[in-house]
Structure 1
Amino acid sequence: MILTVTANPAIDLTYRVDALEVGETHRVAAPASRAGGKGINVARVIAQTGGHAFALTTAGGPTGLELVNDLLAGGVPHEVVPVAAPTRSSVAIVDTGSGLTTIFNETGAALSDAEWDAFRDAVERLAIPATCIVGSGSLPPDAPADFYARLVALATAHGIPSIVDAIGPGLLLAAEAGATVLKPNRRELAESTGESDPIVGAERLLALGAQLVLVSLGEEGMLAVGTSASGAREVLSARLPQPLHGNATGAGDAGVAAVASCLAAGITDPAPILRRATAWSAAAVLAPLAGELDPSYPELESRLVFSS
């Protein structure tokens, strides 16, 4: 069972417009609404591809009730830690003409000390049967900076792999804790490390203690930076021959789901991990909503251009 941990979930609202014009009024159909947050998206993708995932999250207020009802309706195995603050919302506006998506993410509200204690207790309890722990997404305001590092330490104590998709101090501390895989995108990596070159930024995370770093490069595919059996630095890249157009929301989460499915199955070679992560990310771009893959993901993997 792959445990996904989402401390700051959201109700994802997705609007579609023919052309987004800044400063103009748009008439739109009712948005698609579903439980979201990176870890929940990861759990959905793992389930769609035949894996077993369990989503741990929080929920509060009317939007929290909506989130729980959607998880139940979608058959997503989960546990919810009740919190006082309403669950935040995230709005994605998909411009079908240009293929670009604009996203507005609410920050969310801080958790009380008692709520953090309850959430951490749930993580520790659910880690016992887990085969992999995934920590991903933003954290509520005033969250402990070392929250993801503690997830990594917990996974290590249980002898299971860990994956962290975060930004800033959370990413750096997870690296220092020895995360099995870190998966930032290019912008998150640059903001976290101060390095504009993704290979240099990934190498900094490896130097801190991470075992493997996968970097999403958007239309350019994905990069994997690790250490070979001989101790030499190993850099691999994968991309499709032509970029895809669609909704990129959730593409990174699909990549994390691919990594988790590999690690839970005992696959640790960076090459197959990179192939699956790149293909699943691409398939997510073709899907209408975050947390889904277009069924073409096996065919997309066969078309990848792979280099080292």
Structure 2
Amino acid sequence: MTYPIITLTLNPAVDKSTTVDYFVAEQKLRCSTPRYDAGGGGLNVSKALKRLGGRSLAFFSSGGPSGQLLQDLLKKEGIDFRIIATQEWTRENFIVTETRTNAQYRFGLPGPTLTAAEADALLTALRELPARPEYVVASGSLPPGLPDDFYGRIAREVRSLGARFILDTSGEPLRLAANEGVYLLKPNLGELSKLAGVEKLEADDVDDAAKAIIARGDCEVVVVSLGPSGALYVTKDQCEHVPAPMVKKLSTVGAGDSMVAGMTWALSQGKTFGEMVRLGVACGSAATMNPGTELFKKADVDRLLDWINQYGSRYQSLPSQLE
């Protein structure tokens, strides 16, 4: 079987989510029945793609009983995957929502240390793909043991495949990968500032900073995530702000990955950049409407996309203050 989209998750997790009435220090807290989900950037992208009707092959590292649970969860969702076996156990994350305040507490545990041989196995798996994918999506942090330039190495491999590389990460791994050249970057304002080499960006400087990054060959498209203000997409000759609809936020887990999935699916369907970002914003906003780690419901995406398409043109200009 051929896959138009490959997702990479180098630091996946089993996400456990539950609720408590309220937090009180040094007291036994009674939690609700936990929910278990396959987590990690690229895996969230694959799960969201499936909900949109897309097909992908998920590459991820997996080790120990928690790694087996991760595989079982993905099989239950019908996600096609290929694992890179690791000696150390796959990490777990713990998300608790305090029901009285709707405050969410997210506990991220450190990932396993990947050996050089395990990292090389991932690169080899990419080289040995039976058919060239259209897009390779990497999302999430690098696990311990991998050098900061590892996403840059992946960028070179993807380029040799003739595929387009979409990257959603942060810090030095983002900068070094951009130096190698990728197709699409999805930074937030803070990350864009670092890529541009400035301490802070004002609202009027965002598009110029993105165009400068494109001009130096780091990428072809920059989609700047603006949180509740939506997103701004920039190419060498286009710039558009897409507003986010107002929704009741229950959880932000997986919202960014849902946005990436929406954009990747739109690109794979030949949509314009404007259509790409509008669907991405709809997916990201819809994901915040569900508790815990549930991602989005397709019906919510359709409804929010309709709002963006009908009313979004009223708010094309950037907000005066972006946080």
Calculate the TM-score normalised by the size of structure 1: 0.89
1:188-199 → structure 2 map (5 Å cutoff): 188-190=191-193, 194-197=198-201, 199=206
2:203 is the counterpart of 1:224 = no
Deviation of 1:9 after TM superposition, in Å, equals 0.5
1:10-49 → structure 2 map (5 Å cutoff): 10-20=13-23, 26-49=29-52
Contact 1:222 1:278 in 2 (8 A): yes
Contact 2:220 2:235 in 1 (8 A): yes
Q: Which runs of 5+ in 1 are unaligned?
A: 229-233
- Aligned letter for 2:259? G
Contact 2:52 2:265 in 1 (8 A): no
Q: Which runs of 5+ in 2 are unaligned?
A: 318-323
2:37 aligned counterpart, secondary structure: strand
Q: Write the deviation string for residues 197-229 of structure 1: whole angstroms up to 9, x where unpaired.
A: 27165345434421111122222222212221x
Deviation of 1:259 after TM superposition, in Å, equals 1.6
Residue of 298, 301, 311 corresponding to 1:297: 301
Aligned residue pair count:
302
Contact 1:194 1:201 in 2 (8 A): no
Residue of 134, 143, 146 corresponding to 1:140: 143
1:227 aligned counterpart, secondary structure: coil
Paired position in structure 1 for 2:270: 266
Residues 127/248 of structure 1: CA separation in 2 closer, same or farther (3 Å cut): farther
CA distance in 2, matches of 1:243, 1:260: 23
- Aligned letter for 2:214? L
Residues 278/242 of structure 1: CA separation in 2 closer, same or farther (3 Å cut): same
CA distance in 2, matches of 1:127, 1:9: 24
CA distance in 1, matches of 2:247, 2:181: 33
CA distance in 2, matches of 1:21, 1:94: 13
Deviation of 1:24 after TM superposition, in Å, equals 6.2
Paired position in structure 2 for 1:165: 168
- Aligned letter for 2:222? V
CA distance in 2, matches of 1:37, 1:262: 21
CA distance in 2, matches of 1:216, 1:23: 38
Residues 266/161 of structure 1: CA separation in 2 closer, same or farther (3 Å cut): farther
CA distance in 1, matches of 2:236, 2:102: 37
Calculate the TM-score normalised by the size of structure 2: 0.85
Deviation of 1:146 after TM superposition, in Å, equals 2.2
Segments ≥4 residues shifted beyond 6 Å: none
Which structure has the larger Rg? 2
Identity of aligned residues (%): 31
Deviation of 1:262 after TM superposition, in Å, equals 2.0
Residue of 110, 116, 119 corresponding to 1:113: 116
